[in-house]
Copies of this chain bind each other. A is one copy, B any other.
Amino acid sequence: METAEIETRVEEMARKARHASLALATVPRKDKDRMLKALADLLESSASTLMEENRKDLEAGKAAGLSNALLDRLSLSQDRLSGMAGGVREVAGLDDPVGEVLETTERPNGLVIRKIRVPIGVVGIIFESRPNVTVDCAALCLKSGNACILRGGKEAFHTNTALAALIARALRESSLPGDSVQLVPTTDRYALHCLLKMDAYIQCIIPRGGESLIRFVAENSLIPVIKHYKGVCTLYIDKAANLEMAKKLVVNAKCQRPGVCNAIENLLLHRETAGKFLPEIARALAAEGVELRLDASAAAIIKQAGDIPFEAATDKDWTEEYLAPILAIKTVPSTEAAIEAINTFGSGHSDGIVTADESTAQTFLTGVDSATVYWNASTRFTDGFEFGMGAEIGISTDKLHARGPMGLKELCTYKYTITGQGTVKR
Protein backbone atom coordinates (compact mmCIF):
# COMPACT_ATOMS: atom_id res chain seq x y z
CA MET A 1 0.00 0.00 0.00
CA GLU A 2 1.05 3.61 -0.65
CA THR A 3 1.54 5.79 2.43
CA ALA A 4 -1.48 7.94 1.56
CA GLU A 5 -3.63 4.82 1.29
CA ILE A 6 -2.31 3.53 4.61
CA GLU A 7 -3.18 6.82 6.30
CA THR A 8 -6.70 6.77 4.90
CA ARG A 9 -7.29 3.12 5.80
CA VAL A 10 -5.97 3.47 9.35
CA GLU A 11 -8.02 6.58 10.02
CA GLU A 12 -11.10 4.88 8.65
CA MET A 13 -10.53 1.87 10.93
CA ALA A 14 -10.04 4.11 13.94
CA ARG A 15 -13.18 6.11 13.20
CA LYS A 16 -15.23 2.94 12.75
CA ALA A 17 -13.82 1.52 15.98
CA ARG A 18 -14.84 4.64 17.88
CA HIS A 19 -18.34 4.36 16.45
CA ALA A 20 -18.55 0.66 17.37
CA SER A 21 -17.23 1.37 20.87
CA LEU A 22 -20.10 3.74 21.63
CA ALA A 23 -22.62 1.03 20.78
CA LEU A 24 -20.64 -1.73 22.50
CA ALA A 25 -20.48 0.24 25.75
CA THR A 26 -24.21 -0.31 26.31
CA VAL A 27 -24.49 -3.94 25.11
CA PRO A 28 -25.82 -6.22 27.87
CA ARG A 29 -23.72 -9.06 29.23
CA LYS A 30 -25.74 -11.85 27.64
CA ASP A 31 -25.10 -10.56 24.12
CA LYS A 32 -21.36 -10.26 24.73
CA ASP A 33 -21.24 -13.77 26.20
CA ARG A 34 -23.23 -15.19 23.29
CA MET A 35 -20.67 -13.76 20.87
CA LEU A 36 -17.78 -15.23 22.88
CA LYS A 37 -19.36 -18.68 22.92
CA ALA A 38 -19.97 -18.49 19.17
CA LEU A 39 -16.32 -17.55 18.69
CA ALA A 40 -15.14 -20.47 20.83
CA ASP A 41 -17.24 -22.88 18.78
CA LEU A 42 -15.93 -21.41 15.51
CA LEU A 43 -12.33 -21.80 16.66
CA GLU A 44 -12.89 -25.51 17.09
CA SER A 45 -15.02 -26.10 14.02
CA SER A 46 -12.66 -24.14 11.75
CA ALA A 47 -9.49 -25.85 12.92
CA SER A 48 -8.50 -27.18 9.51
CA THR A 49 -8.86 -23.81 7.73
CA LEU A 50 -6.94 -22.08 10.50
CA MET A 51 -4.12 -24.62 10.43
CA GLU A 52 -3.90 -24.29 6.64
CA GLU A 53 -3.42 -20.50 6.92
CA ASN A 54 -1.02 -21.08 9.81
CA ARG A 55 1.07 -23.38 7.57
CA LYS A 56 1.66 -20.45 5.17
CA ASP A 57 3.15 -18.45 8.05
CA LEU A 58 5.22 -21.40 9.24
CA GLU A 59 6.65 -22.01 5.77
CA ALA A 60 7.47 -18.34 5.29
CA GLY A 61 9.00 -18.35 8.78
CA LYS A 62 11.20 -21.34 8.00
CA ALA A 63 12.30 -19.73 4.74
CA ALA A 64 13.11 -16.53 6.64
CA GLY A 65 15.21 -18.54 9.10
CA LEU A 66 13.08 -18.06 12.24
CA SER A 67 14.37 -19.99 15.26
CA ASN A 68 12.65 -23.20 16.29
CA ALA A 69 11.46 -21.49 19.49
CA LEU A 70 9.76 -18.75 17.45
CA LEU A 71 8.28 -21.25 14.99
CA ASP A 72 6.89 -23.19 17.93
CA ARG A 73 5.25 -20.07 19.40
CA LEU A 74 3.76 -19.34 16.01
CA SER A 75 2.31 -22.74 15.27
CA LEU A 76 -1.32 -23.75 15.79
CA SER A 77 -2.47 -27.28 16.53
CA GLN A 78 -5.82 -28.83 17.33
CA ASP A 79 -4.78 -28.78 21.00
CA ARG A 80 -3.79 -25.14 20.95
CA LEU A 81 -7.02 -24.17 19.21
CA SER A 82 -8.99 -26.05 21.88
CA GLY A 83 -6.97 -24.19 24.49
CA MET A 84 -7.81 -20.87 22.83
CA ALA A 85 -11.50 -21.80 22.66
CA GLY A 86 -11.41 -22.79 26.33
CA GLY A 87 -9.85 -19.46 27.21
CA VAL A 88 -12.61 -17.59 25.36
CA ARG A 89 -15.29 -19.62 27.18
CA GLU A 90 -13.62 -18.74 30.49
CA VAL A 91 -13.77 -15.04 29.63
CA ALA A 92 -17.48 -15.45 28.85
CA GLY A 93 -17.90 -16.89 32.35
CA LEU A 94 -16.26 -13.92 34.09
CA ASP A 95 -18.35 -11.18 35.67
CA ASP A 96 -19.13 -8.18 33.47
CA PRO A 97 -17.13 -5.27 34.90
CA VAL A 98 -19.27 -2.64 33.15
CA GLY A 99 -21.91 -0.64 35.00
CA GLU A 100 -20.79 -1.33 38.55
CA VAL A 101 -21.46 1.66 40.83
CA LEU A 102 -18.10 2.25 42.52
CA GLU A 103 -19.13 5.09 44.81
CA THR A 104 -22.26 7.11 45.56
CA THR A 105 -22.03 10.51 47.22
CA GLU A 106 -24.89 12.75 48.21
CA ARG A 107 -23.82 16.37 48.42
CA PRO A 108 -25.30 18.98 50.79
CA ASN A 109 -26.98 20.69 47.79
CA GLY A 110 -28.88 17.48 47.02
CA LEU A 111 -26.79 16.35 44.04
CA VAL A 112 -26.28 12.59 43.91
CA ILE A 113 -22.91 11.78 42.35
CA ARG A 114 -22.37 8.21 41.17
CA LYS A 115 -18.99 6.92 40.01
CA ILE A 116 -19.68 4.13 37.52
CA ARG A 117 -17.31 1.69 35.83
CA VAL A 118 -17.49 1.99 32.02
CA PRO A 119 -15.37 0.71 29.12
CA ILE A 120 -12.33 2.74 28.07
CA GLY A 121 -13.60 2.94 24.48
CA VAL A 122 -11.15 1.90 21.77
CA VAL A 123 -8.05 -0.05 22.77
CA GLY A 124 -5.16 -0.65 20.36
CA ILE A 125 -3.20 -3.84 20.97
CA ILE A 126 0.22 -4.04 19.35
CA PHE A 127 1.79 -7.48 19.51
CA GLU A 128 4.32 -9.75 17.88
CA SER A 129 4.19 -13.33 16.72
CA ARG A 130 1.92 -15.33 19.04
CA PRO A 131 -1.46 -15.77 17.34
CA ASN A 132 -3.25 -16.67 20.58
CA VAL A 133 -2.85 -13.00 21.59
CA THR A 134 -5.26 -12.08 18.78
CA VAL A 135 -8.06 -14.14 20.25
CA ASP A 136 -7.28 -13.53 23.96
CA CYS A 137 -7.18 -9.76 23.55
CA ALA A 138 -10.26 -9.61 21.35
CA ALA A 139 -12.20 -11.64 23.93
CA LEU A 140 -11.07 -9.52 26.90
CA CYS A 141 -11.74 -6.23 25.12
CA LEU A 142 -15.15 -7.36 23.96
CA LYS A 143 -16.19 -8.65 27.38
CA SER A 144 -15.18 -5.32 28.95
CA GLY A 145 -17.22 -3.44 26.32
CA ASN A 146 -14.23 -2.05 24.43
CA ALA A 147 -13.74 -1.99 20.69
CA CYS A 148 -10.20 -2.98 19.73
CA ILE A 149 -7.78 -2.60 16.90
CA LEU A 150 -5.24 -5.39 16.71
CA ARG A 151 -1.89 -4.99 15.02
CA GLY A 152 0.01 -8.29 14.96
CA GLY A 153 3.46 -9.18 13.71
CA LYS A 154 4.25 -10.05 10.11
CA GLU A 155 5.31 -13.62 11.03
CA ALA A 156 1.69 -14.44 11.94
CA PHE A 157 -0.04 -12.40 9.29
CA HIS A 158 -1.98 -15.20 7.54
CA THR A 159 -2.97 -16.80 10.83
CA ASN A 160 -4.11 -13.50 12.32
CA THR A 161 -6.09 -12.63 9.20
CA ALA A 162 -7.91 -15.98 9.41
CA LEU A 163 -8.58 -15.52 13.13
CA ALA A 164 -9.87 -11.98 12.54
CA ALA A 165 -12.26 -13.34 9.90
CA LEU A 166 -13.64 -15.81 12.47
CA ILE A 167 -14.07 -13.05 15.03
CA ALA A 168 -15.90 -10.94 12.43
CA ARG A 169 -18.20 -13.89 11.71
CA ALA A 170 -18.95 -14.39 15.43
CA LEU A 171 -19.75 -10.66 15.75
CA ARG A 172 -22.06 -10.83 12.74
CA GLU A 173 -23.84 -13.94 13.95
CA SER A 174 -24.38 -12.32 17.34
CA SER A 175 -25.57 -9.00 15.85
CA LEU A 176 -22.83 -7.01 17.59
CA PRO A 177 -21.15 -4.07 15.79
CA GLY A 178 -18.92 -5.58 13.08
CA ASP A 179 -16.16 -3.02 13.70
CA SER A 180 -15.80 -3.99 17.36
CA VAL A 181 -12.66 -5.98 16.54
CA GLN A 182 -10.48 -5.00 13.58
CA LEU A 183 -7.09 -6.26 12.45
CA VAL A 184 -4.75 -3.76 10.78
CA PRO A 185 -4.59 -5.23 7.26
CA THR A 186 -0.86 -4.61 6.82
CA THR A 187 2.20 -5.08 9.01
CA ASP A 188 3.94 -2.09 7.42
CA ARG A 189 5.46 -0.08 10.26
CA TYR A 190 4.03 3.09 8.76
CA ALA A 191 0.53 1.79 9.53
CA LEU A 192 1.55 1.40 13.17
CA HIS A 193 2.97 4.92 13.14
CA CYS A 194 -0.37 6.24 11.79
CA LEU A 195 -2.37 4.22 14.30
CA LEU A 196 -0.43 5.77 17.19
CA LYS A 197 -1.50 9.27 16.06
CA MET A 198 -5.25 8.50 16.14
CA ASP A 199 -5.84 10.04 19.56
CA ALA A 200 -9.12 11.49 18.34
CA TYR A 201 -10.56 7.96 18.18
CA ILE A 202 -8.37 5.58 20.22
CA GLN A 203 -8.04 6.02 24.00
CA CYS A 204 -5.45 3.42 25.03
CA ILE A 205 -2.56 1.49 23.50
CA ILE A 206 -1.25 -1.74 25.01
CA PRO A 207 1.94 -3.03 23.41
CA ARG A 208 2.86 -6.64 24.08
CA GLY A 209 6.24 -7.78 22.92
CA GLY A 210 9.95 -7.11 23.15
CA GLU A 211 11.45 -3.97 24.64
CA SER A 212 12.31 -2.41 21.26
CA LEU A 213 8.71 -2.68 20.01
CA ILE A 214 7.45 -1.16 23.25
CA ARG A 215 9.97 1.71 23.04
CA PHE A 216 8.90 2.43 19.46
CA VAL A 217 5.29 2.59 20.59
CA ALA A 218 6.01 4.79 23.63
CA GLU A 219 8.11 7.20 21.58
CA ASN A 220 5.62 7.56 18.74
CA SER A 221 2.24 7.46 20.45
CA LEU A 222 -0.01 10.45 21.03
CA ILE A 223 -2.37 7.99 22.74
CA PRO A 224 -1.76 6.96 26.37
CA VAL A 225 0.22 3.71 26.50
CA ILE A 226 0.15 1.09 29.27
CA LYS A 227 3.36 -0.85 29.17
CA HIS A 228 5.86 -3.18 30.69
CA TYR A 229 9.38 -2.97 29.33
CA LYS A 230 10.86 -5.91 31.24
CA GLY A 231 10.82 -7.88 34.45
CA VAL A 232 14.07 -7.58 36.38
CA CYS A 233 12.83 -9.17 39.60
CA THR A 234 14.79 -9.63 42.83
CA LEU A 235 14.52 -11.75 45.93
CA TYR A 236 16.20 -10.48 49.10
CA ILE A 237 17.19 -12.94 51.84
CA ASP A 238 17.18 -11.12 55.16
CA LYS A 239 19.36 -12.06 58.11
CA ALA A 240 16.20 -13.25 59.90
CA ALA A 241 15.23 -15.62 57.07
CA ASN A 242 14.50 -19.31 57.52
CA LEU A 243 17.17 -20.97 55.38
CA GLU A 244 15.05 -23.85 54.16
CA MET A 245 12.27 -21.50 53.11
CA ALA A 246 14.74 -19.15 51.43
CA LYS A 247 16.30 -21.98 49.42
CA LYS A 248 12.92 -23.27 48.28
CA LEU A 249 11.72 -19.78 47.27
CA VAL A 250 14.91 -18.87 45.39
CA VAL A 251 14.86 -22.11 43.42
CA ASN A 252 11.17 -21.71 42.62
CA ALA A 253 11.41 -18.04 41.66
CA LYS A 254 14.40 -18.70 39.39
CA CYS A 255 13.84 -22.20 38.01
CA GLN A 256 10.14 -23.01 37.87
CA ARG A 257 9.97 -21.20 34.50
CA PRO A 258 13.03 -19.04 33.83
CA GLY A 259 11.76 -17.57 30.54
CA VAL A 260 8.95 -15.45 32.02
CA CYS A 261 8.89 -11.90 33.31
CA ASN A 262 8.11 -12.72 36.95
CA ALA A 263 11.09 -15.08 37.40
CA ILE A 264 13.94 -13.52 39.40
CA GLU A 265 17.14 -12.31 37.77
CA ASN A 266 18.84 -10.97 40.92
CA LEU A 267 19.38 -12.32 44.42
CA LEU A 268 20.46 -10.15 47.37
CA LEU A 269 21.65 -11.62 50.68
CA HIS A 270 22.09 -9.84 53.98
CA ARG A 271 25.82 -9.70 54.60
CA GLU A 272 25.58 -11.12 58.15
CA THR A 273 24.20 -14.44 57.04
CA ALA A 274 25.46 -14.72 53.47
CA GLY A 275 28.37 -16.85 54.73
CA LYS A 276 25.92 -19.46 55.95
CA PHE A 277 23.11 -19.08 53.33
CA LEU A 278 24.92 -18.45 50.10
CA PRO A 279 26.83 -21.75 49.68
CA GLU A 280 23.68 -23.78 50.32
CA ILE A 281 21.54 -21.71 47.99
CA ALA A 282 24.28 -21.67 45.34
CA ARG A 283 24.55 -25.48 45.47
CA ALA A 284 20.79 -25.86 45.12
CA LEU A 285 20.82 -23.51 42.09
CA ALA A 286 23.84 -25.19 40.52
CA ALA A 287 22.05 -28.52 40.86
CA GLU A 288 19.25 -27.02 38.76
CA GLY A 289 21.74 -25.91 36.12
CA VAL A 290 21.63 -22.20 36.98
CA GLU A 291 24.67 -20.12 36.01
CA LEU A 292 25.75 -17.79 38.84
CA ARG A 293 27.12 -14.25 38.36
CA LEU A 294 28.59 -13.02 41.62
CA ASP A 295 29.79 -9.66 42.90
CA ALA A 296 33.14 -9.62 44.77
CA SER A 297 31.64 -10.22 48.22
CA ALA A 298 29.53 -13.17 47.07
CA ALA A 299 32.45 -14.57 45.05
CA ALA A 300 34.68 -14.53 48.12
CA ILE A 301 32.15 -16.66 50.04
CA ILE A 302 31.66 -19.12 47.19
CA LYS A 303 35.42 -19.50 46.64
CA GLN A 304 35.80 -20.49 50.29
CA ALA A 305 32.97 -23.00 49.95
CA GLY A 306 34.97 -24.84 47.30
CA ASP A 307 33.66 -26.42 44.14
CA ILE A 308 30.68 -24.26 43.01
CA PRO A 309 31.20 -22.79 39.51
CA PHE A 310 30.43 -19.10 38.93
CA GLU A 311 31.33 -16.03 36.88
CA ALA A 312 32.11 -12.51 38.04
CA ALA A 313 29.14 -10.15 37.66
CA THR A 314 29.57 -6.94 35.68
CA ASP A 315 27.56 -3.72 36.16
CA LYS A 316 25.25 -4.77 33.34
CA ASP A 317 24.14 -7.87 35.20
CA TRP A 318 22.01 -5.95 37.73
CA THR A 319 19.67 -4.52 35.12
CA GLU A 320 19.52 -7.40 32.66
CA GLU A 321 16.44 -9.54 32.08
CA TYR A 322 18.07 -12.91 31.34
CA LEU A 323 14.87 -14.90 30.76
CA ALA A 324 17.27 -17.84 31.15
CA PRO A 325 18.82 -19.97 33.93
CA ILE A 326 21.26 -17.25 35.01
CA LEU A 327 21.17 -15.43 38.37
CA ALA A 328 23.17 -12.39 39.54
CA ILE A 329 23.94 -12.43 43.27
CA LYS A 330 25.33 -9.92 45.72
CA THR A 331 25.40 -9.20 49.42
CA VAL A 332 24.02 -6.07 51.07
CA PRO A 333 24.69 -4.59 54.52
CA SER A 334 21.03 -4.00 55.44
CA THR A 335 17.39 -4.22 54.41
CA GLU A 336 17.56 -0.50 53.55
CA ALA A 337 20.44 -1.21 51.17
CA ALA A 338 18.42 -4.03 49.58
CA ILE A 339 15.47 -1.67 49.09
CA GLU A 340 17.71 0.96 47.55
CA ALA A 341 19.32 -1.55 45.19
CA ILE A 342 15.91 -2.80 44.02
CA ASN A 343 14.55 0.74 43.55
CA THR A 344 17.68 1.66 41.57
CA PHE A 345 18.24 -1.41 39.37
CA GLY A 346 14.91 -3.25 39.29
CA SER A 347 12.12 -2.74 36.79
CA GLY A 348 9.31 -2.17 39.31
CA HIS A 349 7.69 -5.52 38.48
CA SER A 350 7.88 -8.18 41.25
CA ASP A 351 10.30 -8.26 44.16
CA GLY A 352 10.33 -10.14 47.44
CA ILE A 353 11.83 -10.53 50.88
CA VAL A 354 12.34 -13.72 52.86
CA THR A 355 12.37 -13.01 56.59
CA ALA A 356 10.80 -14.18 59.83
CA ASP A 357 10.87 -10.61 61.18
CA GLU A 358 7.53 -8.87 60.62
CA SER A 359 8.85 -5.35 61.14
CA THR A 360 11.65 -5.89 58.61
CA ALA A 361 9.09 -7.30 56.19
CA GLN A 362 6.89 -4.23 56.64
CA THR A 363 9.83 -1.91 55.94
CA PHE A 364 10.52 -3.82 52.73
CA LEU A 365 6.88 -4.00 51.58
CA THR A 366 6.49 -0.25 52.10
CA GLY A 367 9.89 0.81 50.77
CA VAL A 368 10.13 -1.19 47.56
CA ASP A 369 8.54 0.81 44.76
CA SER A 370 7.29 -2.09 42.62
CA ALA A 371 3.91 -3.18 41.30
CA THR A 372 3.96 -6.35 43.44
CA VAL A 373 6.06 -6.89 46.55
CA TYR A 374 6.23 -10.34 48.18
CA TRP A 375 6.92 -11.51 51.71
CA ASN A 376 7.87 -15.17 52.08
CA ALA A 377 6.51 -16.13 48.67
CA SER A 378 7.88 -16.75 45.19
CA THR A 379 7.67 -13.84 42.73
CA ARG A 380 6.14 -16.24 40.20
CA PHE A 381 2.59 -15.40 41.29
CA THR A 382 2.37 -12.07 39.45
CA ASP A 383 -0.28 -12.83 36.86
CA GLY A 384 -3.99 -12.32 36.37
CA PHE A 385 -4.99 -15.94 37.02
CA GLU A 386 -3.03 -16.16 40.27
CA PHE A 387 -4.54 -12.83 41.39
CA GLY A 388 -8.05 -14.18 40.82
CA MET A 389 -8.78 -11.87 37.88
CA GLY A 390 -9.52 -14.87 35.70
CA ALA A 391 -7.44 -13.68 32.74
CA GLU A 392 -5.09 -10.84 31.98
CA ILE A 393 -4.45 -8.61 29.02
CA GLY A 394 -0.94 -7.91 30.30
CA ILE A 395 1.10 -6.65 33.22
CA SER A 396 1.83 -2.97 33.77
CA THR A 397 5.00 -1.61 35.32
CA ASP A 398 3.67 1.90 34.70
CA LYS A 399 2.10 3.76 37.58
CA LEU A 400 -0.87 5.43 35.94
CA HIS A 401 -4.22 3.70 35.48
CA ALA A 402 -3.17 0.09 36.11
CA ARG A 403 -0.19 -1.41 37.92
CA GLY A 404 0.64 -5.11 37.98
CA PRO A 405 -1.66 -7.66 36.31
CA MET A 406 -4.45 -6.13 34.19
CA GLY A 407 -7.76 -7.95 33.98
CA LEU A 408 -11.22 -6.90 32.85
CA LYS A 409 -11.61 -4.16 35.48
CA GLU A 410 -8.32 -2.59 34.39
CA LEU A 411 -9.70 -2.44 30.83
CA CYS A 412 -12.31 -0.04 32.16
CA THR A 413 -12.39 3.59 33.22
CA TYR A 414 -15.19 5.36 35.09
CA LYS A 415 -17.59 8.19 34.56
CA TYR A 416 -19.61 10.29 36.96
CA THR A 417 -23.37 10.59 36.59
CA ILE A 418 -24.90 13.40 38.60
CA THR A 419 -28.57 13.74 39.39
CA GLY A 420 -30.15 16.98 40.60
CA GLN A 421 -33.58 18.55 40.92
CA GLY A 422 -32.95 21.59 38.80
CA THR A 423 -29.82 22.26 40.86
CA VAL A 424 -27.89 25.41 39.96
CA LYS A 425 -24.51 26.69 41.07
CA ARG A 426 -24.72 29.73 43.38
Chain A residues within CB distance 8 Å of chain B: 22, 25-26, 105, 107, 111, 113, 120-121, 199, 203-204, 218-219, 222, 224-226, 242, 245, 248-249, 252, 256, 343, 361, 365-367, 369-378, 380-381, 386-388, 398-401, 403-404, 413-425
A248 close to B422 (CB less than 8 A):
yes
A373 close to B417 (CB less than 8 A):
yes
CB distance from A118 to the nearest CB of B (A): 8
Of A248, A387, A415, the most chain B CB neighbours within 10 A belong to A415
User: Assuming the A-B contacts A26-B366, A203-B400, A415-B370, are A375 and B107 also in contact, with contact meaning beta carbons closer than 8 angstroms in the complex?
Assistant: no
Q: Is the interface of A mostly helix, strand, loop or mixed?
A: mixed
Which residues of the partner chain B approach A366 to less than 8 Å between Cβ atoms?
25-26
Of A252, A378, A417, A419, the most chain B CB neighbours within 10 A belong to A417
Which residues of the partner chain B approach A399 to less than 8 Å between Cβ atoms?
120-121, 203-204, 224, 413
Of A226, A403, A420, the most chain B CB neighbours within 10 A belong to A420
Which residues of the partner chain B approach A403 to less than 8 Å between Cβ atoms?
413-416
Which residues of the partner chain B approach A374 to less than 8 Å between Cβ atoms?
417-420
CA of A408 to CA of B25, assembled, Å: 29
CA of A386 to CA of B418, assembled, Å: 11
User: Assuming the A-B contacts A121-B399, A378-B424, are A388 and B218 also in contact, with contact meaning beta carbons closer than 8 angstroms in the complex?
Assistant: no
> Which 3 pairs show the lowest CB-CB distances between chains A and B?
A377-B420, A380-B425, A252-B424
A424 close to B248 (CB less than 8 A):
yes
Which residues of the partner chain B approach A387 to less than 8 Å between Cβ atoms?
105, 107, 113, 416
CA of A373 to CA of B371, assembled, Å: 33
Which residues of the partner chain B approach A414 to less than 8 Å between Cβ atoms?
403
Of A25, A113, A249, the most chain B CB neighbours within 10 A belong to A113
CA of A413 to CA of B371, assembled, Å: 10
A107 close to B370 (CB less than 8 A):
no
B418 close to A373 (CB less than 8 A):
yes
B420 close to A375 (CB less than 8 A):
yes
A373 close to B422 (CB less than 8 A):
no
A400 close to B113 (CB less than 8 A):
no
CA of A380 to CA of B111, assembled, Å: 12
B219 close to A219 (CB less than 8 A):
no
CA of A252 to CA of B381, assembled, Å: 54
B256 close to A424 (CB less than 8 A):
yes
CB distance from A370 to the nearest CB of B (A): 7
A224 close to B222 (CB less than 8 A):
no
User: Assuming the A-B contacts A113-B387, A249-B424, are A226 and B400 also in contact, with contact meaning beta carbons closer than 8 angstroms in the complex?
Assistant: yes
CA of A400 to CA of B118, assembled, Å: 12
B107 close to A365 (CB less than 8 A):
no
30 contacts between A and B (CB under 8 A): A22-B367, A25-B366, A26-B366, A107-B387, A111-B377, A203-B400, A224-B225, A249-B422, A252-B424, A256-B425, A371-B416, A372-B418, A373-B418, A374-B417, A374-B418, A374-B419, A375-B417, A376-B419, A376-B420, A376-B422, A377-B423, A378-B420, A381-B418, A381-B423, A399-B413, A400-B401, A403-B413, A403-B414, A403-B415, A404-B415
CB distance from A342 to the nearest CB of B (A): 11
